[in-house]
Structure 1
Amino acid sequence: MNKLFFNLAAVCALLLSVGPLQAQSEQQIKSELQKKIGANTKIKSVSASPISGIYEVMVGNDVFYTDTNAKYLIQGEIIELASGKNITEQRQADLNRIKWSELSPANALKAVKGNGTRQLAVFSDPNCGYCKRLEKSLQQLDNVTIYTYLIPILSADSAQKSKQIWCSADPQKTYVDWMINGIAPSGKSDCTTPLDKNTAFAKTYGITGTPTLFFTDGSRFPGAVQIADIEKKFSSLK
């Protein structure tokens, strides 16, 4: 009985030691890989992947892989053949999620269509061509509330237009008039705006391009997303 107890205790001790040893190994891999790729590219984390001997490397919100010796940096996708699941794609989606509750509606233009039950957040630059294309497509949606967060990242003129839009008597109408009808905003631009807050939020969450859409589950869709894909996503949230 004493021998059995000793063996069980040894197994438990071994299992408890796996975590720290693995963490130490991952830290060593991260350190070694960081030396090789240089200080200009910051590695956020290194962790075990589903494949033995292959480690996930996080650089910004991008997923790469490396080997135990940090000799190779692998760019590609891991697909589980049994299920067809794209492990990398799912991981990337999870990393790019935000908490919907962290958005501040007070800092956004707001458009309500129909009953407004479905919700969508869009980060947009008024001089972004793809944003204009998306805005035209969004006009086809019904029963939706769209929050548009202006982030003037393209030029000084983007900042000026964003201020003029926000400071107008009807910001949402002024925005749509410009994005769809080409009626340039005019008037004052010296009111208090949330543009700095929106830009800071975008930087924190790695929103580097416009348009970028977010749904209530926190999932991120970059670019001028097709209406069919937006409707499909809304359907999956029901």
Structure 2
Amino acid sequence: MPLKPSLLFSVLCVASLSACAQAPSSDAAEGEKGAAQASAAAPAPIETRPGTPEDRARQAIESINPAIQIDAIAAAPLPGFREVVVGGQTVYVSDDGKYLLQGSLFDVEAKRDVSQAGVAEVRRKLIADVPEGDRIVFAPTNPKYTVSVFTDVECGYCRKLHQDIAEYNKRGIAVEYLAFPRMGLNTPDYDLMVSVWCAPDRRKALTDAKEGNRVPPRTCDNPVARQYALGQRVGLTGTPMIITESGVQMPGYMPPDALLAALQQVEAADGG
């Protein structure tokens, strides 16, 4: 029996928090500005040719949740289905648009999860589009690896990661921070991260914030709301979210040696 619309709506809300999250309240000018920045950064809807399996897949997704942002539609490893990337997750829609499958697709012969390749490529492209000047970078000279880290100034594991930032750098790992105020826009958490990104010395301000030290309140034209929306779009479910240059998501916080080993493994799998 087909899934009920309400259940499928919930499934796709999980896949795309930005499409389903409650909008911030309208009683604070900075929160309104942040919401407007996030909205302005929203991409144009994906286009498909009428009568194609891709078009039927798009229509099927939009019939469940018209607000959802589809990032990619392509042929699936599963015959008779299209692979659709939404909110940092992969779902599969039958070529006639009638059925939707959600979950990992494991290639038994290759012994790998083939549902992650499309998601990783979407993440790679989206994060590559973030201007270097919008990131807060802690990097060694000539880094061997670079990771993008969606961070919050309040979360314990984000602070734990930053305490060892010099150790990551010693292992040849550059850390490029992106903002994700996990309490949402128009919150004290968001305001603090705006103050960090607007500080004359962002690196010092970020370190101060993560150590619980006072950061002078500031406002400016900043990327915090845009990066918050980006985090939702790439499937962030918790901070810190660590993503490799090839778009592979690491399993949450990892100590320096563990992250280095994981990056070496990803490099080997990518043929590096």
TM category, shorter: 0.5 to 0.7
Determine the structure 1 residue equivalent to 2:120: 93
Determine the structure 1 residue equivalent to 2:183: 154
CA pair 87-23 structure 1, distance change in 2 beyond 3 A: farther
- Counterpart of 2:261 (choices 229, 232, 236) is 232
Task: Give how far 1:74 is off.
Answer: 1.5
Work out whether residues 151 and 198 of structure 1, in 8 Å CA contact, stay in contact via their aligned partners in 2. yes
Instruction: Please give the alpha-carbon distance, in whole angstroms, between the structure 2 residues aligned to 1:104 and 1:40.
Output: 27
Give the root-mean-square deviation of aligned CA atoms.
3.6
- Counterpart of 1:81 (choices 108, 129, 132) is 108
Could you tell me which runs of 5 or more consecutive residues in structure 1 were left unpaired when the two chains were aligned.
1-21
Task: Give how far 1:26 is off.
Answer: 0.3
Determine the structure 2 residue equivalent to 1:132: 159
Give per-residue Cα distances to partners, 1:165-202, cap 9 Å, x unaligned: 345564323322332xx332233424554435544654
Q: Larger deviation: 204-213 or 125-134?
A: 204-213
Work out whether residues 45 and 59 of structure 1, in 8 Å CA contact, stay in contact via their aligned partners in 2. yes
Instruction: Please give the alpha-carbon distance, in whole angstroms, between the structure 2 residues aligned to 1:167 and 1:28.
Output: 43
Task: Give how far 1:219 is off.
Answer: 3.6
Which amino acid is the alignment partner of residue 74 of structure 1? L
Work out whether residues 85 and 91 of structure 2, in 8 Å CA contact, stay in contact via their aligned partners in 1. yes
Q: Secondary structure at the match of 1:176?
A: helix
Q: Larger deviation: 190-199 or 150-159?
A: 190-199
Q: What are the residue-to-residue correspondences of 1:51-90 with 2, within 5 Å?
A: 51-90=78-117
Which amino acid is the alignment partner of residue 130 of structure 2? L
Q: Secondary structure at the match of 2:250?
A: strand
Which amino acid is the alignment partner of residue 203 of structure 2? Q
Task: Give how far 1:56 is off.
Answer: 2.4
Which amino acid is the alignment partner of residue 104 of structure 2? E
Asked if 1:102 is matched to 2:129, the reply is yes
Instruction: Please give the alpha-carbon distance, in whole angstroms, between the structure 1 residues aligned to 2:256 and 2:198.
Output: 30
Instruction: Please give the alpha-carbon distance, in whole angstroms, between the structure 2 residues aligned to 1:45 and 1:166.
Output: 31
Q: Percent identity?
A: 20
Instruction: Please give the alpha-carbon distance, in whole angstroms, between the structure 2 residues aligned to 1:35 and 1:166.
Output: 36
TM-score, normalised to structure 1, is 0.68
- Counterpart of 1:211 (choices 220, 240, 243) is 240
Instruction: Please give the alpha-carbon distance, in whole angstroms, between the structure 2 residues aligned to 1:63 and 1:82.
Output: 21
Q: Secondary structure at the match of 1:221?
A: coil
Instruction: Please give the alpha-carbon distance, in whole angstroms, between the structure 2 residues aligned to 1:86 and 1:74.
Output: 15
TM-score, normalised to structure 2, is 0.61
How many residues end up aligned between the 2 structures? 214
Give per-residue Cα distances to partners, 1:20-73, cap 9 Å, x unaligned: xx9834046326624752435465665432232233233333211233444432
CA pair 116-122 structure 1, distance change in 2 beyond 3 A: farther
- Counterpart of 1:183 (choices 200, 212, 215) is 212
Give the strand-richer structure, 1 or 2. 1
Instruction: Please give the alpha-carbon distance, in whole angstroms, between the structure 1 residues aligned to 2:254 and 2:160.
Output: 9
Q: Larger deviation: 121-130 or 160-169?
A: 160-169
Which amino acid is the alignment partner of residue 157 of structure 1? P
Could you tell me which runs of 5 or more consecutive residues in structure 2 were left unpaired when the two chains were aligned.
1-48
Q: Secondary structure at the match of 1:145?
A: strand
Q: Which of 1 and 2 has higher RCO (CA within 8 Å, sep 6+)?
A: 2
Instruction: Please give the alpha-carbon distance, in whole angstroms, between the structure 1 residues aligned to 2:59 and 2:139.
Output: 52
Determine the structure 2 residue equivalent to 1:9: none
The structure having more radius of gyration, on CA atoms, is: 1
